[in-house]
């Protein structure tokens, strides 16, 4: 999937919770609220949820055509206990 193979890193604004202006990635807390700058600095945070927008891939393919892919929601938990995610 092209949405996972980027030629450049996401350029999110830390003051906006890491979200990019293009809308290519959206970072969320386990309760589905948007991450803030404070969320990234929380020492207890061991979970990540992010949405990759397959319609917001900014770079063209090798032929110069727009790249479109599926959307993906990725949930990660590094905590020793189970964490409930809200979709």
pLDDT, the chain, mean: 87
Report the distance separating Cα 28 and Cα 19, nearest Å.
10
Using the predicted structure, report yes or no on whether residue 25 has a pLDDT greater than 80: yes
| 49 three-state secondary structure | strand
pTM here is 0.82
76-84: long-range contacts (C-beta < 8 A, 24 or more apart)? 76/47, 76/48, 76/49, 77/46, 77/47, 78/46, 78/47, 79/46, 79/47, 83/30, 83/46, 83/47, 84/30
Using the predicted structure, report yes or no on whether residue 63 has a pLDDT greater than 90: yes
Binning pLDDT at 50, 70 and 90, where does residue 33 land? very high
Least confident of 1-5, 11-15, 26-30: 11-15
């Amino acid at each position: 999937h092209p949405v996972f193979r980027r030629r450049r890193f996401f350029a999110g604004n830390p003051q906006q919770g890491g979200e990019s202006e293009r809308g290519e990635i959206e970072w969320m807390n386990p309760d589905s609220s948007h991450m803030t700058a404070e969320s990234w600095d929380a020492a207890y945070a061991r979970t990540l949820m992010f949405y990759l927008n397959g319609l917001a891939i900014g770079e063209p393919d090798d032929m110069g055509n727009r790249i479109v892919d599926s959307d993906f929601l990725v949930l990660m938990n590094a905590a020793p206990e189970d964490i409930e995610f809200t979709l």
